[in-house]
Amino acid sequence: MASRMIGSAEGRWIRADLRARRGQALLTVLTVAGIVTALIAAATLLEDGTNPWRGLFERGRGAHIWLHTKTVPDVSALKSLDGVTDVAGPYHSAPATLAADRGRKVPISLQEAPAALPAVARPLLSEGRWLDVRHPEGVVVERSFARAIGLRPGSPFTVTGLNGATHTLTVAGLAETGDQGFYPEWAPGLAWTLRQTLTAVEPAPGRTETVTGLRLADPGLTDLIVQRAVFTLHGQVQRVTTWREVRAAMELDNRLLGLLLGLFGVAGLVAAALALANVTGGRVLTQLRDIATLKSLGFTRGQITRMLLVEHGALGLAGIALGVVAAWLITAYALGESGVTPLSPGPHAAITVGTALVVLVAVWLPAWRGGRTPPLPAVPAAPPRGRLSRLARLALLVRLPPALVLGARDAFTRRTPALLTICGVAIPMMMITIGLGCWATLDDFIRHPEGVGQAAALAVRPADLTAEETRERVMADPDVVAAYPGAELDALVPGQTRTVRTRALGTSADPYPFPVAEGRMFRDRGEAVAGQGLLDLLGARVGDRVRITIGGTPLIVRIVGRVIEPEQDGEVLSLGIDSLAAKDAVPPRFYGLVLRPGAEPGEARARLQAQGLEVAQAVNPADRLAVIRVIIVALVVVLALIGLANLLTAGALGLRDHVLDLAVLKAMGLTPRQVMATLVTGTGLLAVVGVLLGGCVGALWSRALIDLEGRHSGVGAGIGRAPTPGMLAAAIGIAIGAALLVALIPARRAARARIPVTAR
Amino acid sequence: MRQSLLALLAKEPAHGYELKQALEAIFGSAYPSPNIGQIYVTLGRLEKDGHVRSVGVEQSNRPNKKVYYITAAGLETLQAWAEEPTEGPRVRDEFFMKLVLAPMTGLSDRMALINRQRRHYLSLMRELGELAERTDPGDRVALLLIEGAMLHLQADLDWLERCQEELP
Amino acid sequence: MTTTPAIRAVNLVKIYQSGRGLPVPAVRGVDLTVDPGEFVAIMGPSGSGKSTLIHLLGGLDTRTSGEIWLDGKRADTLSESGWAVLRREKIGFVFQFFNLVTNMTVADNVELPALLGGASPRHARERREYLLGELGLTDRAAAAPAQLSGGEQQRVALARALANQPRLLLADEPTGNLDSRNTRDVLKLLSRVHRQGQTIVLVTHDARVAGLADRVVSLLDGEIVDDGAIVRRRGPGGTAGDVVELRG
């Protein structure tokens, strides 16, 4: 054990010291554990929010490879392939058409499923019942598709086969799956039926295909196994999908979210380091005399450093271990029920190792300083005293009560600890303020969607109607103020192998109100605006000309402005629809609808859908970033706790310094209340300075910092908002109140205690 | 001696030898054992001054012995002695004289004088310490007396230190 | 036959830097040789440099110049760690304010040096039991230092200093913070260990402590002004009755 690694004398001392301060040690362990738990939980939520595929895939034991074949493949040959652990299916699958509401026809894919849920590639039932042989008319619909179409358990499900026959089935339940992407990104929509039902809808065996899933031991070997499977099945395979495509379809490629989480993670680590350094430093400071005694007994500098490092480091590492266990319990039990999968090993290890390093560094500094204590214990560690600080003199000048003057004097007698205390409060407060800034930014997204390019709350596709009819119908709606014709196309840009999104919306004369952050809006044909991501991708600046190719037609546009672009990581070029070639522009693929202020998009959407239009509602980026809010709240709580813990340490330390003074003050006739006021002023003053400093710096920085994040995520600078004055004032008020309350605890105890006048 | 004999007689009448035994019992080894002749001489003087009176008591086979009683005048004198404050010990002026005068003669320098004196005091202190160790721990009067002597010595040593610091 | 001195200081100098950068000499060229088994008392007015001298001899402070030889080996050139190792093997220290490690029990305090010296926990425990038994503190072994009286604390500190049977016992005003009764207890202990052959160098103001020594060294302004044996004027004997005469 540790006593073998470090000498038994050190071991004895560590044990004795830990025994003497059980409460403080426990608090340290809990603080670190809290931070680690918060970090892991936040990362888990984030991963789950941005990458739902992993959770679905793991829970459903999904298949990594899906082979689409015309006929039933040789399952045993597939199973014997090296690296394949399980085979799902083979299942029959048939295309059909679903009669949705208002006479719309939606293509779907019916897939056979057994009445007993399979072990591999198991759909995850989220609502209703699974398939039942006693009710062959029941189907289970993939959830994202059901939601888009408006299906619920019990809804009629009328399908038409390729032969034209119509069958009226019923939705028995909704299920999720990690084996195909969400609708509408992944089309057609999916519904599971019993074999007999499938045969009834599509009796012709020639029109069905067979899908077979392979679950692999090592997902990294996917490509190799696909090749082998295709080879094994001798040209039977028509199509292959792999988990990578599914994941890509599901993933919210949100760099902004990742960056924000990274920021908060760093904030948490800094706060943890600060808390530990404060606790360790404070403890070492109170022990200088004992440490000097140990040195006089023959402890070397290295031994002392190692001893302190082991003692305090062990507390930190115990906290990490506890935090990992707590986070595991939370994700397994509390979040597990809502279907969150535990964090993948990479980030998990990064958080654990990162925190461990931070812990060791934070502890090493005070331990090193402790090791440098001179071995002269005869000199009592007396605080420098006597001189009134400038602040205290000012307090005297304005005739403040004596307790406040004494407290003000105490606050700054020891410069370094005073500075540490201020930092220990200011840094968490700054982080809290930045967190509030993020909150305000999200609020701003929701309150002013036009500021992030979402002036149009709805997008209408003409479906069966002509463009002109569509336009007339939408403009007839009372809530619709404007309808901008639009088209979204993929464009090839020079020097890039992939395409970027080109969005044509509005005309040069009547442009869609893009949120221009830099430069100006396009006014002529051949002019365009771009998101930060696109500018970065092309290495272009506002004012540059770029040459793109849309559907084989070259197009040269001049970028005249930069817009806030929350989609596609900002890699979007926006221009007037009249800048496009006619073949791409006429008729417009959709209309972007701007509603009158205060209108409810959901209601307008329902009304328009009732007129047979296909309407999509814009997803506010704030909704996608909603997980950030949970993280902000958790982080604010942890940071507040850290700040308060720092204050408690400072208070206890201040008390130790002033025990003798207190005896004298009491003898001079200060009442217990005045003594308390003195002590509260001593720590409270530092806390107030720290809170104000942290709040101001945070408010100043949050905008710049979020804009920086915005810039790096491609959305572009210009989204950042400082916390609202009300929010900031409330945060500062609460922080100061809590700080004073915390300062009151040791002060009250000290004021009541009978303090003997003794030699140290 | 006068006062101690008067004090003992104030307690109860006694003859000379009883007084000697009483003194030894009270002070133990702290004071030198009193001489019986000296006691009789002192008693004689006290009787002459009217502080005590003696009554002869006959004894078989032996000379008569005198039992002494305290008189009213003796009691008054004793009362006055008890109430009067006692003079404190005086600083040893002989060493101080040496210290001030010897350097003038060129025979010795102050530093050497002080050092010699200190060693002397310390050896006295050592002897007192040894004495205290030899003394029966139950003999509280004697131990207190030794401690008093030690404290006086400590004061003398401190004073030597002051002399060394202050005198050039 | 010449014996190796337990400790020898040659032209030892310590100069502090005052707050304004002016050099303040505390020890100015001290030559001191202490033979094994000797008991040396260092006296002098406050500020004469006697505490600094004893700290230098124990390596708690670094000398400005000069040499220190401990047990025939040169020690002043050692690093801080070198001194630490030397201290744990050869030097026991007793301070005015006892300086027991506050978190540890009496037993732990006394066992600590033995453990530090590499003794097995069992050996350390036996040594502790022996020492506390000698000093009459067996029943206080589990107590915290704060629960002890000053005299008891200093006795524990003495036990701790003697735990490793050091070549040299250094003490800085060991009775400076004790009343006369506790001083007497500590004095008895000191003279007992001295009789057992322990070499002792102590700084004191207390003539009763100095009276125990074989030799007294007087410091004034960082220099030795007197160094000589305390001679016994006469052989042992006499009674308390001699006190009056001694004082005369």
* Phi, psi values for residue A158, rounded to 5°: -95, 115
Task: Give the separation between CA C175 and CA C187, rounded to whole angstroms.
Answer: 8
Residue C171 to chain B, least CA–CA distance (Å): 19
pLDDT tier at A397, thresholds 50, 70, 90: low
Contacts across the A-C interface (CB distance below 8 Å):
99
Average pLDDT taken over every residue of chain A: 77
Check whether A487 has a pLDDT greater than 60.
yes
> Tokens at residue A595, please?
């509603």
Task: Give the separation between CA A321 and CA A352, rounded to whole angstroms.
Answer: 9
Residue A370 to chain C, least CA–CA distance (Å): 14
- CB within 8 Å: A8 and C115: yes
Average confidence (pLDDT) over A236-242: 75
- Tell whether B22 is covered by a domain: yes
Percent with pLDDT over 70 in chain A: 84
Coil, helix or strand at residue C207: helix
Q: Which of residues 7-46 of C touch B (CB under 8 A)?
A: 43-45
Q: Which CA distances in Å does C244 have to A259, A283, B124, B150?
A: 92, 57, 12, 12
Question: Which residue in A has a C-alpha nearest to residue C56's C-alpha?
Answer: A376
By C-alpha distance, which of A487, A514, A489 is closest to A501? A489
pLDDT tier at A759, thresholds 50, 70, 90: very low
Question: What's the Rg (C-alpha) of chain C?
Answer: 19
Q: What is the 3-state secondary structure (H, E, C) of A570-639?
A: HCEEEECHHHCCHHHHCCCCEEEEEECCCCCHHHHHHHHHHCCCEEEECCCHHHHCHHHHHHHHHHHHHH
- Tell whether B157 is covered by a domain: yes
Do B40 and B78 reside in the same domain of the chain? yes
Percent with pLDDT over 90 in chain A: 2
According to the per-residue pLDDT averaged within each range, which of A87-101, A229-243, A361-375 is highest? A361-375
Task: Give the separation between CA B92 and CA C92, rounded to whole angstroms.
Answer: 40
Average confidence (pLDDT) over A598-619: 76
Q: What is the CATH number of the domain that holds C165?
A: 3.40.50.300
Query: Which of B48, B83, B118 corresponds to the end of one domain?
Result: B83
- CB within 8 Å: C99 and A298: no
- Tell whether C96 is covered by a domain: yes
Q: What does C104-143 look like in DSSP terms, one character per residue?
A: S-HHHHHHHHHHHTT--HHHHHHHHHHHHHHTT-GGGTTS
Question: Which residue in A has a C-alpha nearest to residue C92's C-alpha?
Answer: A297
ipTM of the complex: 0.85
- CB within 8 Å: A20 and C115: no
- CB within 8 Å: B125 and C207: yes
Q: Which CA distances in Å does B108 have to A730, B103, B162, C217, C230?
A: 85, 6, 19, 20, 21
Do B76 and B119 reside in the same domain of the chain? no
Query: Which of B83, B107, B131 corresponds to the end of one domain?
Result: B83
Check whether A463 has a pLDDT greater than 70.
no
- Residues with Cβ within 8 Å of B82's Cβ and at least 6 positions away in sequence, in order, are none
Do B49 and B119 reside in the same domain of the chain? no
Alpha helices in A210-344 (DSSP H): 222-232, 243-250, 255-286, 288-297, 301-329
Residue C124: give the domain boundaries: 7-230
> Of C221, C230, C233, which to mutate for an interface test with B (greatest number of B Cβ within 10 Å)?
C230
Check whether A707 has a pLDDT greater than 70.
yes
Residue B35: give the domain boundaries: 2-83
Query: Which of B54, B83, B112 corresponds to the end of one domain?
Result: B83
Contacts of A9 in chain C (CB under 8 A): 112-113, 115-116
Q: What is the pLDDT of residue A321?
A: 92
Assign 3-state DSSP to chain C and report helix, strand, coil percentages, each to 5.
Answer: 35, 25, 40
Average confidence (pLDDT) over A641-670: 72
A touches B (3+ CB pairs < 8 Å)? no
Q: Does C241 touch chain B (CB under 8 A)?
A: yes
C touches A (3+ CB pairs < 8 Å)? yes
pLDDT tier at A760, thresholds 50, 70, 90: very low
pLDDT tier at A185, thresholds 50, 70, 90: low
Task: Give the separation between CA B99 and CA B115, rounded to whole angstroms.
Answer: 11
User: Per the structure, how many domains does chain B have?
Assistant: 2
Average confidence (pLDDT) over A257-286: 76
pLDDT tier at A4, thresholds 50, 70, 90: very low
Q: Which CA distances in Å does C221 have to A560, A634, A642, C46?
A: 86, 65, 53, 9
- Tell whether B19 is covered by a domain: yes
Q: What is the pLDDT of residue C247?
A: 46
> Tokens at residue A567, please?
């989609």
Average confidence (pLDDT) over B46-56: 86
Q: What is the pLDDT of residues C157-167, one digit of tens each?
A: 888 888 888 88
Q: What does A317-363 look like in DSSP terms, one character per residue?
A: HHHHHHHHHHHHHIIIIITGGGTPPPPPHHHHHHHHHHHHHHHHHHH
Question: Which residue in C has a C-alpha nearest to residue B119's C-alpha?
Answer: C230
Query: Is residue A489 a contact partner of residue A502, using CB atoms and an 8 Å limit?
Result: yes
Task: Give the separation between CA A328 and CA A345, rounded to whole angstroms.
Answer: 12
The lowest-confidence range among A300-304, A452-456, C192-196 is: A452-456
Residue B69 to chain C, least CA–CA distance (Å): 29
Q: Which CA distances in Å does A75 have to A69, A114, A208, A240, C212?
A: 12, 17, 18, 16, 102
Do B52 and B105 reside in the same domain of the chain? no
Do B62 and B108 reside in the same domain of the chain? no
Check whether C242 has a pLDDT greater than 70.
no
- Residues with Cβ within 8 Å of B50's Cβ and at least 6 positions away in sequence, in order, are B71, B73, B74
- CB within 8 Å: B28 and C240: yes
> Of C56, C80, C105, which to mutate for an interface test with A (greatest number of A Cβ within 10 Å)?
C80
Q: What is the pLDDT of residue A693?
A: 92
Q: Which of residues 190-219 of C touch A (CB under 8 A)?
A: none
DSSP summary character for residue A506: B
Do B124 and B73 reside in the same domain of the chain? no
Q: What is the pLDDT of residues A27-80, one digit of tens each?
A: 888 888 888 887 887 777 777 666 677 777 777 777 787 878 877 777 777 777
- Tell whether B110 is covered by a domain: yes
User: Per the structure, how many domains does chain C have?
Assistant: 1
Check whether A736 has a pLDDT greater than 80.
yes
Task: Give the separation between CA A691 and CA C165, rounded to whole angstroms.
Answer: 56
- Tell whether B59 is covered by a domain: yes
Q: Which among C88, C101, C103 is the nearest to A298, CB-wise?
A: C88
- Cis peptide preceding A188, ω within 30 of 0: yes
Q: Does A381 touch chain C (CB under 8 A)?
A: no
- CB within 8 Å: A17 and C103: yes
* Phi, psi values for residue A12, rounded to 5°: -60, -45
Q: Does A20 touch chain C (CB under 8 A)?
A: yes
